[in-house]
A and B are shown apart, each in its own frame.
Chain A
Amino acid sequence: MGKINLFYIARRNLKRKWFRSLALILAVTIASGALFASVLMMESVGRGAEISTSMLGADVMVVPVGYEAQARASLLAGEPNKFYMSRSVEDEVKKVPGVAQTSVQVFAETAAFPCCGFTKSFLIGFDPETDFTVMKWVGESLDRPFGKDDAILGFSLAALPGFKTYVHGHELTVWGKLRQSGIKYFDNSLFVPIETLYNIAEESKKRDEVAPLEIERGQISVVLVKAEEGVSPDVLEVRIEGRVPGVIAIPMPRVLHTVRAQMATLFGSLTILVAVLWVANTLMVGAIFTTIVSERRKELGILRAIGANRRHVFRLILAEAAFLTALGGLLGIAAGGALFYAYKGIVTSSFSALKIPYIWPTAAQVAAISVFTLISALAMGIIGALYPAYTSAKLDPYNAIRTGE
Chain B
Amino acid sequence: MIIKTEHLCKTYKIGDQVIEAVKGVDIEIERGKFVSIVGHSGSGKTTLLSMIGGLTRPTHGKVYIDGINIWNLSDEKLSELRNKKIGFMFQFSSLIPTLNAIENVMLPVAFGKGVSGDVERRAKELLELVGLGHRMHNVPSQLSGGEQRRVAIARALINDPDIILADEPTGDLDRETEDEVMELFLKINRDFGKTFVMVTHNPELAKRTDITLRMENGSIIAREEHG
Contacts and interface: CB of A to CB of B under 8 A. Distances in A.
Interface of A: 1-6, 8-9, 12-13, 15-16, 299, 301-312, 396-399, 401, 405
27 contacts: A1-B106, A1-B109, A1-B119, A3-B103, A3-B106, A4-B106, A6-B110, A15-B98, A16-B97, A302-B94, A305-B82, A306-B82, A306-B83, A307-B79, A307-B111, A307-B112, A308-B79, A308-B111, A309-B75, A309-B76, A309-B111, A310-B79, A312-B111, A397-B56, A398-B56, A401-B90, A405-B91
A400 to B, nearest CB: 9
Nearest to A10: B98
Given A1-B118, A4-B109, 4 more contacts: A6-B110, A9-B107, A398-B47, A398-B50
Contact of A9 (B88, B96, B108): B96
Nearest to B91: A405
Contacts, number: 93
B132 interface: no
A398 B108 CA distance: 17
Interface string B101-121: 001001111111001001110
Contacts of A16: 97-98
Interface of B: 47, 50, 53, 55-57, 75-76, 78-80, 82-84, 88, 90-92, 94, 96-99, 103, 106-112, 115, 118-120, 155, 159
Given A5-B110, A16-B98, A309 B80 contact: yes
Centre residue among A303, A396, A401 by max chain B CB count within 10 A: A401
A401 B120 CA distance: 27
A16 B94 CA distance: 17
B98 A306 contact: no
Centre residue among A16, A299, A306, A311 by max chain B CB count within 10 A: A306
A314 to B, nearest CB: 11
B110 A4 contact: yes
B110 A9 contact: yes
A396 B111 CA distance: 18
B80 A1 contact: no
B224 to A, nearest CB: 27
A15 B99 CA distance: 11
Given A12-B99, A299-B96, A398-B55, A306 B76 contact: no
A381 B83 CA distance: 29
Given A9-B98, A299-B96, A306 B111 contact: yes
A307 B50 contact: no
Contacts of B55: 301, 304-305, 396-398, 401
A308 B78 CA distance: 10
Contacts of A309: 75-76, 78-80, 111
A8 B100 CA distance: 12
Contacts of A9: 96, 98-99, 107, 110
Nearest to B49: A398
A297 to B, nearest CB: 13
A176 B53 CA distance: 82
Contact of B80 (A15, A307, A399): A307
Nearest to A17: B98
Nearest to B56: A398
B89 to A, nearest CB: 10
A6 B78 CA distance: 19
A266 to B, nearest CB: 48
Q: Ordered nearest first, which 5 A-B pairs have the shortest CB separation?
A: A307-B83, A398-B56, A309-B79, A307-B111, A12-B98
A303 to B, nearest CB: 7
A303 B111 contact: yes
A226 B50 CA distance: 82
A5 B111 CA distance: 8
A305 B88 contact: yes
Contacts of B76: 309-311
A307 B56 contact: no
Given A304-B79, A305-B82, A307-B111, A4 B94 contact: no
A307 to B, nearest CB: 3
Contacts of A12: 98-99
Nearest to A12: B98
Centre residue among B53, B79, B99, B118 by max chain A CB count within 10 A: B79
Nearest to B54: A397
A12 B109 CA distance: 17
Given A1-B119, A307-B79, A309-B79, A405 B92 contact: yes
Given A1-B120, A4-B107, A396-B57, A306 B88 contact: yes
Contacts of B119: 1
A9 B104 CA distance: 10
Contacts of B96: 9, 299, 302-303
B108 A307 contact: yes
A310 B75 contact: yes
Nearest to B113: A307
